[in-house]
Chains A and B, each alone.
Chain A
Amino acid sequence: MKRAFLVIIMLGVVLCLPRSPSPQAQEGYLANTPLPTVPIPPDNPQTDAKILLGKQLYFETRLSADNTISCATCHAPSTAWANHGKTDTGIRGQVGGRNSGTIIDAAYMRYQFWDGRAGSLEEQALGPIHNPIEMGETLENVVKKLNDIPGYHSQFQQVFGTDANTDGIAKAIAAFERTIVTGPSPFDRYKMGEKSALNAAAVRGMDLFNGKAHCSSCHSGPAFSDQGFHNLGVGYKDGKYSDVGRYAVTKNSKDMGSFKTPGLRNAAETWPYLHDGSEKTLMDVINLYDRGGVQNPNLDPMMLPLHLTANEKQDLEAFLNALTGPVPAINPPKLPE
C-alpha cells in the first residue's frame, strides 16, 4: 500500500513540476495556437519605404511581358489574396496547371509554391515573373523597365541605395507580402479565453480537427501547416499522376504526387482548394479526406478513411470557418510613371 502511495506521489510531483513553456509547449508542440509575430529575415528588415515599393511592384502589370499581369492578378485582395479560378491564367490567355494559393500568412511558411521549390518569399517573388505561362518576362527586361521609370528608379535608390535589380525587387515584394497576415480569428479569440468566440458546432469541430478527423496531424502549429509535403492522391488517375508535385524538386520517388500542406487560416475565403483547384468547397475537401484520399502507390500513410457523420462534417466546416480573421484592407496603389 505504501508503495502505491509513493508511486502516486512521485508521479504527482513529476507532473506538477512548475514550468513556463510557450503556449504551444503547454498544449503539445503540434497544437494550433495564435500566430506569433511575423518572422523577418535579418537581411531584409521591414521599412515603410520598402513595403510601399513592394506594394507598388505587387500591383505592377509592367513586370509581365505584355504589361497585362501583375502579382495581384492571381493573388487579388478582393478574392482573399488568391484566385477563385480553378487554375491561373497568365499572359496571352495561357492557363497554368495549379491553383493560386493565397499569400495570406505566406510569411509563416517555410516553403513557397505548391511544390516548395522556393525557400523564402524573396525567392518566390521572382518565380512568376519569368514563368513563361504566368508573367513571361525576363528578369533582365524587368530590371531595365523599372530603371527606365523615374519613380521606381528613385525609390530603389532611396530604399536600397542602388538602381533597381532583381535582389531589390524580390526583397521589396517579400516585405510587402509579410504585411498580409490575418488578425485574430474567432479561433484565436477562443484560445485567448473568449469562450463565446466559437459556437458549439465550431467547438465540436475543433475537437474533431484535433482528433477523429486527424486534421492537426498535418495542419498543425499556428499557421495550421506542418510545413511538409503530403500525397493525398489528388490528380492520380489510371496509374498516372497529373502533376508530380514535390518530386520535380527533390527527384525523390517518395515525393511523387506530394504537395505542400497549405495553411488553413482564412481558408473559407480561398476557394477552390488543393493544388489543382479540383475541390470547390470546404465540404468537398472534407469529403475527400473522409474517403481517405485517392488510393495511389504513394498515398500519405496518415490518409485513412475517417467515417465522419454528416453532422461531424458540418461541425468541422464550422471550425474551419472560424479560422477566418481580418486581413489588412489594401487598395491598389498609384503606380510610378
Chain B
Amino acid sequence: MRCKVTLAALAATILVGFLLGMVRPAWALPTFARKYGFDCTMCHSSFPRLNDFGQRYRMNGYQLPGREAEDKDVLHSPAPFAMRTSAGISYNTDNNPSNPASDLKRFQVNSLDLLSGGILGRNISYLVVYTPPMAASRSTAGQQASVEMANVVFSNLLCSTWLNLRAGRFEPACIPFSVARRLTISPYEVYNFGSPLGAPVNEPLEGVEVYGYGRQGWNWAAGAVNGTAYTTKVSADFYGRVSKVLGAGWGQTAGQRIGVTAYSGKVPDSTGTLQNFFRFGADASFNAAWINLSIQYILGMDRRELWPSGSTEKYVMHSGGFAQLNLMPIDKLAGFARLDLVKPQKPADLDRDQITRYTAGIRYYFVYQLALHLEYSHRIEKQLTGPDAKEDFGAVRLDFAF
C-alpha cells in the first residue's frame, strides 16, 4: 500500500512538474506540432479530426509534402511522445432489461492513449498508439492494455505519390471516415455491425496496405490484413478502395470527395469452418465553407452460417450507413449531428432488427489541445418481438492531448 502511495505521489509530482513546464506555449503541442513549431490547427480542423493539410501529411508518411529531403527524423526532433486522455461526466441508461449493467452516471477518466510517431529515415516513418491497462473502477472506465496501432509507412515508392506502403497494425483505408479521429464518442453503427461470430470492420487491423494518390484527386488503396476474426487458421481478408476528390482539397474540409470500397473477409462459423462475408460501401464528403456533410452507405453480405438463423438463402443481407454534419464556424467551436441507420434485409435471418441512432453535440476548444465535449446520443434497436431497446447516452467531458 505504502509503495502504491509513493508511486502515485512520484507520478503526480512529475506530471505536475511537466504540466507547469508546459506553460511555455511552444512546448504545449503534441508530437508532430512540437517538432515543427506548428499549432494543432495546421493539421486538425477540430481536433482530433484532420483537415486537408493533416490528411495530406498523414498520407505522406508524416512528412511535409515536398520537403521530404529536409524533414527531420525522430532522432533529431523533440521527444516524439504525446498523450491523449478524456475525463468527465458520462451517463448511460438502457431500458433493455437484459443488460441493466450498462446503466451509468458518474465522473470518470475515460481513456488514456500514449502516442509516438515520427520519421525514421527519408520516406520511412512510424506511428505507435499504446493504451495502457486501466482497471475498471468507480472512477475509471477500464481498458485493456493494447497496442492500438503500430505501423511503418514507406512513402513515395518509385519516387511517386502513387505508391506507398503501410505495414503493421493500422486503421485501414476501407474505413473512409476515421473511427480513431471521429468527433463523436458514440460509435458509427454501420462500422460496428457484424455477425456475432466475427468482429466488425471498425478498428485497426494488422497487415499490409498499399495506397496512392495523385494531383488530379484520385486516391486508391488495397490491403491484405489478418481479418476480423481471431483464429489460429490462416485467413487473410482483402479490401480495396478508390476515391476521387472534385475541386481543390482532400475532401476533409475542402473539395468534394466520393469513394467506393469493397471488403472480402472470412470468419469461422460455430463449427470452425471459415465462411465468407463481404462489405460494399459508397461514401461522400461534401464541403462548403465551414460545413462538412459526411455520408456513408454499406451493403453487407454474410454467409448464413455466420448468423444464428434458419435462413435458406446462401447469404443474409444487411445495409446501413450514416449521415453526419460537421460544423466548424470558428476555430474554437465545432458542432456535429449524425443519424446512424442499420437494417437487416430480413430481420429474422439475422435475429436482429433495425438500429437507429441520433447523435448531436458540440466541442469547445479552450486552447487547441483542450476541448470541452458535450454529446447526447439516443439509440433505438427494434426487437423482433416486444418493445424497442432504447439507450440514452450523454457526456460532458474534457478531452485533452499534449
Q: Footprint of B on A, CB under 8 Å?
A: 1-9, 11-17, 24-32, 207-208, 210-212, 214, 216-217, 220, 226, 228, 230, 291-293, 295, 297-305, 307, 309
B289 touches A304 (CB 8 A): no
Complexed CA–CA distance, A301 and B249 (Å) = 9
A28 touching B38 in the complex, CB below 8 Å, given contacts A4-B132, A304-B52: yes
Q: Which 4 A-B pairs have the closest CB atoms?
A: A28-B37, A31-B37, A211-B41, A211-B39
Are A305 and B249 in touch, CB under 8 angstroms?
Answer: yes
Contact of B79 among A1, A14, A208, A210 (CB under 8 A): A14
What is the CB-to-nearest-CB distance from A175 to chain B, in angstroms, rounded to a whole number? 29
By a CB distance below 8 angstroms, the chain A residues around B26 are 26-28, 31
Q: Which residues of chain A are near B41, meaning CB under 8 Å?
A: 207-208, 211-212
B contact set with A: CB distance below 8 Å: 4, 7-8, 10-11, 14-15, 17-18, 21, 24, 26-27, 29, 33-42, 45, 51-53, 56, 60, 64-67, 72, 77-79, 81, 83, 112, 114, 130, 132-135, 145, 215, 248-250, 253-255, 289-290, 330-331, 368
Q: Is the CB of A31 within 8 A of B53?
A: no
Alpha-carbon distance between A11 and B81 when the two chains are bound, in angstroms: 8
Give A304 to B254 CA distance when docked, in angstroms. Answer: 8
Pairwise interchain contact A301-B37, C-beta atoms closer than 8 A: no
Contact A5 B35, CB 8 Å, known A14-B79, A210-B42? no
Cβ-defined partner of A2 (8 Å) among B7, B39, B253, B254: B7
Query: Nearest chain A CB to B292's CB is how many angstroms away?
Result: 10
Q: Are A292 and B249 in contact (CB under 8 A)?
A: yes
What separation, in Å, do the CA atoms of A291 and B215 have in the docked complex?
A: 17
How many whole Å from A192's CB to the nearest CB in chain B?
A: 14
- Is the beta-carbon distance between B290 and A212 smaller than 8 angstroms? no
Jot down 22 A-B pairs with beta carbons below 8 A, ordered by A: A7-B130, A8-B11, A12-B18, A16-B18, A26-B26, A28-B37, A29-B37, A29-B72, A30-B36, A30-B38, A31-B37, A210-B42, A211-B331, A216-B42, A217-B42, A292-B248, A295-B248, A302-B56, A302-B64, A302-B65, A304-B250, A307-B290
Which residues of the other chain, B, contact A291 by a CB distance below 8 angstroms? 248
If A211-B39, A212-B42, A220-B36 are given as contacts, then 5 extra A-B residue pairs at C-beta distance below 8 Å, sorted by A number, are: A4-B132, A5-B8, A5-B11, A28-B34, A302-B56
Q: A7 — which chain B residues lie within 8 A by C-beta?
A: 114, 130, 132
- Chain B residue at minimal CB-CB distance from A292: B248
Given contacts A8-B14, A9-B11, contact A211 B83 (CB under 8 A): no
- Chain A residue at minimal CB-CB distance from B22: A15
Do A12 and B248 touch (CB < 8 A)? Answer: no
Among residues of B, the one whose C-beta sits closest to the C-beta of A33 is B37
Q: Check if A12 sits within 8 Å of B79, measured CB to CB.
A: no
For B14, list chain A residues within 8 Å (CB): 8-9, 12-13, 16
Q: Is the CB of A217 within 8 A of B38?
A: yes
Q: Give bound CA distance, A29 to B253, whole Å.
A: 27
Cβ of B254 and Cβ of A305 under 8 Å apart? yes
Give the CA-CA distance A31 to B10 in the complex, in Å: 34
Chain B nearest CB from A174 CB (Å) reads 25
Bound complex: CA A32 to CA B26 (Å): 11
Known: A12-B17, A28-B34, A29-B72. A297 touches B81 (CB 8 A): no
Residues of B within 8 A of A30 (CB): 36-38
Expressed in whole angstroms, the minimum distance between the Cβ of A187 and any Cβ of chain B is 14
Expressed in whole angstroms, the minimum distance between the Cβ of A219 and any Cβ of chain B is 12
Among A16, A292, A299, A302, the residue within 8 A (CB) of B21 is A16
Tell me the complex Cα distance, A291–B289, Å. Answer: 11
B133 contact from A4, A25, A300, Cβ within 8 A: A4
In the complex, which residues of chain A have a beta carbon less than 8 angstroms from the beta carbon of B72? 29
Among residues of A, the one whose C-beta sits closest to the C-beta of B52 is A304
B218 to chain A, nearest CB (A): 14
Q: Which residue of A lies closest to B77 (CB)?
A: A29
CA distance A292 to B368 in the complex (A): 24
- In the complex, what residues of A have CB within 8 A of residue B368's CB? 211
For A6, what are the chain B residues with a Cβ–Cβ distance below 8 Å? 7
Contacts known (A8-B11, A8-B15, A207-B41); A31 close to B36, Cβ less than 8 A: yes
Shortest beta-carbon distance, B299 to chain A, in Å? Answer: 32
**For A8, A16, A17, A300, which residue has the most chain B Cβ atoms within 10 angstroms?**
A8
What's the nearest-Cβ distance from chain B to residue A310, in Å? 12
